[in-house]
Structure 1
Amino acid sequence: MVAVAVGETVHAFSGGGSKGTITVGAKGFAENEILASLYQIALQENGYDAKFVDNLDGDVLHSAINSGKIDFYPEYTNTGVVMVLKHDPIFDPEKAYQYVKEQYKKKYNIVWLNQSAINDTYGFVITKKVADQYGISTISQLCENSPKLRLAQMYDWNADPAIGEALDKTYGKFKFADVKTYNAGLVYPVLKEGKADALVAQTTDPQLEDTSTYVLLKDDKKVWPPYYLTPIIRQSTLDKYPGVEGIINSVTKEVSGSDILELNRQVMIDKKEFQDVARKFYDSHIKK
């Protein structure tokens, strides 16, 4: 039995007219919390008593949705492929989505709803100045030019097989002129200040909004699999509340990849509360 009380539960809508109670889960970081909060708001607006359970890690969330402690949460396609189903990464986005959709329904009676446009995977970022100077737009070109460039990293990337080993196998050995490790909050400023030229980042990092300073390189040999953010829900919840699927899917389609960079910035950089950010976006972009 999973004790979901380890997260923060919000009873944000209640009353005699409620169509029913639905519990939304979320992982404890900005984009997941924002999207889950958007779903919660949409359900509230449509008459459901939507509870919110936050700060749960992947194992806890999977156990919680299986046991019925929560009804749904936003998951990532290759997290489902690799961490839950114990399958090798699937690099084609549609094949990854279809695989988790079929296997979760078969094994857990859990439904993957419509996939969002948000892909949170690894990515190489360089400065616009360096991109223009050396004509770099792909990871292959970065590898070729790596002896001239300096890498900023948050930890030893070679110790992570998903980064160092995967890159070596796919692109060949990177031979950066200098490699320094920085606190996570410093890597982007280090690039901006010209103290480094490249870093391995996440493709939904809010700093990537600043395209005049940073360039996200094309993964031309597809070293990293896609991690598309997608709501997953218990089949029993859909059976009980048939209208919920349409409500959730209507939110998902309104949040683009560029939207999540802006929303992440408001939470991660501007330090706004994710609930407030979600509410404002819902009112301006989704509410009918």
Structure 2
Amino acid sequence: MGKGRLCAVVAVLVVSMVGAGCGKKSATTTSSPSAPAKPSITVGSVTFSESQIVGEMFAQVLAKAGYKVSKQLSLGQRAVLQPAMPGQIQVAPEYVGSLLAYLKGTKSSDAVSETAQDNALLAPKGLTVLDPSAANDTNAFVVTKATATKYNLSKVSDLKPVASKLTLGGPPECATNPVCLPGLKSVYGITGLKFQPIVACDIATANALDAGTIDIAELCSTQSIIAKKGWVVLDDDKNLQPADNITAEVSAPLLTANPDIKALLAGVLSKLTTANIVGLNAQVDIDHKDPAVVAKDFLTSNGLL
């Protein structure tokens, strides 16, 4: 066989082999398995600005990470939110001390101890709370300067001799919450206060105090309107209130199946301080900004979006 013909035959064989090889590869190639779809998550909160802002933060970082997020950020009070978890709501902002009171644990001034108790009591419910933030938003009994002057009030125990003349405004659960009316009675011996139910830590309670329809408001210590109005926060001289650092309450099965969620929420909590929460609340309650916008701006400026 001549060299030219041999080369031609070899060339044909090579082309045939390459073609066959390509055909075989095409026939057997399979696409790599796609990552499992991330689950849908509903983020909830109770009805006051701070809870809604932090709820928005949680929702936005989860959505950025690829989770399908829906929001229920105005659920009234804890007595509505908690029974909805983890079935209807899987993630929500919470407060370690107030949650512990709701769960009937032993209050403490130590947020770490409260968190451990919370988790022990939540475990049978399929829920957990993360390590709390540095932001401590405790309940505060607040009066106007005029009321403080009239009745010589600077601390909670000063209310005892004048209680029958005063009306306290606060969330409906104040009537049964051990750190509200029952605690004022058992710890301070204060009886005779009239009570007007209003929304928890909401501007409506502050407005009622400002209008004089109530004399004492149970507010959250991080509500910026307290400083703006120059109101007097009565010193909790018998330590009725627990530490109430902001945390995230999460479905335990959701965390187990999706461990990245813990890091996402912890990233938000790590940026929260008492001071910046006061500022965030002011943007919503005083400047009337949308909580979603306030949350997005905060997350963006802190490198979380």
TM over 0.5: same fold? yes
Q: CA deviation at 1:226?
A: 4.2
RMSD: 4.0
Does residue 153 of structure 1 match 2:168? yes
For residues 181 and 79 of structure 1, the distance between their equivalents in structure 2, rounded to whole angstroms, comes to: 20
Is the Cα–Cα contact under 8 Å of residues 153 and 187 in structure 1 kept in the other structure? Answer: no
* TM-score normalised by length of structure 2: 0.66
Does residue 31 of structure 1 match 2:46? no
Q: 1:173 to 1:72 in 2, by over 3 A?
A: closer
Corresponding residue of 2:187: 170
For residues 137 and 236 of structure 2, the distance between their equivalents in structure 1, rounded to whole angstroms, comes to: 13
Q: Secondary structure at the match of 2:256?
A: helix
Q: 1:156 to 1:100 in 2, by over 3 A?
A: closer
Is the Cα–Cα contact under 8 Å of residues 26 and 73 in structure 1 kept in the other structure? Answer: yes
Q: Secondary structure at the match of 2:248?
A: strand
Q: CA deviation at 1:213?
A: 0.7
**Any stretches of 5+ residues in structure 1 without a counterpart?**
1-15
Corresponding residue of 1:282: 299
Matches within 5 A, 1:187-202: 188=206, 198-202=215-219
Corresponding residue of 2:61: 42
Q: 1:223 to 1:197 in 2, by over 3 A?
A: same
Structure with max Cα Rg = 2
Corresponding residue of 1:236: 253
Percent of pairs with identical residues: 21
For residues 225 and 253 of structure 2, the distance between their equivalents in structure 1, rounded to whole angstroms, comes to: 39
Corresponding residue of 1:261: 278
Q: Secondary structure at the match of 1:104?
A: helix
Q: Which amino acid aligns with 2:274?
A: G
For residues 204 and 35 of structure 1, the distance between their equivalents in structure 2, rounded to whole angstroms, comes to: 16
* TM-score normalised by length of structure 1: 0.70
Q: 1:165 to 1:73 in 2, by over 3 A?
A: closer
For residues 244 and 120 of structure 1, the distance between their equivalents in structure 2, rounded to whole angstroms, comes to: 24
**Any stretches of 5+ residues in structure 2 without a counterpart?**
1-33
Q: CA deviation at 1:125?
A: 1.2
Q: CA deviation at 1:276?
A: 1.2
Q: CA deviation at 1:280?
A: 1.5
Is the Cα–Cα contact under 8 Å of residues 117 and 228 in structure 1 kept in the other structure? Answer: yes
Aligned length: 262
Q: 2:86 aligned to 63, 66, 69, which one?
A: 66
Is the Cα–Cα contact under 8 Å of residues 136 and 244 in structure 2 kept in the other structure? Answer: yes
Matches within 5 A, 1:1-288: 20-29=38-47, 30-45=49-64, 47-54=65-72, 55-56=74-75, 58=78, 61-67=81-87, 69-83=88-102, 85=103, 87-94=104-111, 95-105=113-123, 107-128=124-145, 137-141=154-158, 143=160, 146=162, 151=166, 153-154=168-169, 160-162=175-177, 163-173=180-190, 188=206, 198-204=215-221, 206-210=223-227, 213-287=230-304
* C-alpha distance after superposition, 1:57-107 (max 9, x if no partner): 54664454433x443222333454344x4x2552334332211112323x1
Is the Cα–Cα contact under 8 Å of residues 209 and 262 in structure 1 kept in the other structure? Answer: no
Q: 1:256 to 1:128 in 2, by over 3 A?
A: farther
For residues 166 and 252 of structure 1, the distance between their equivalents in structure 2, rounded to whole angstroms, comes to: 29
Is the Cα–Cα contact under 8 Å of residues 251 and 286 in structure 1 kept in the other structure? Answer: no
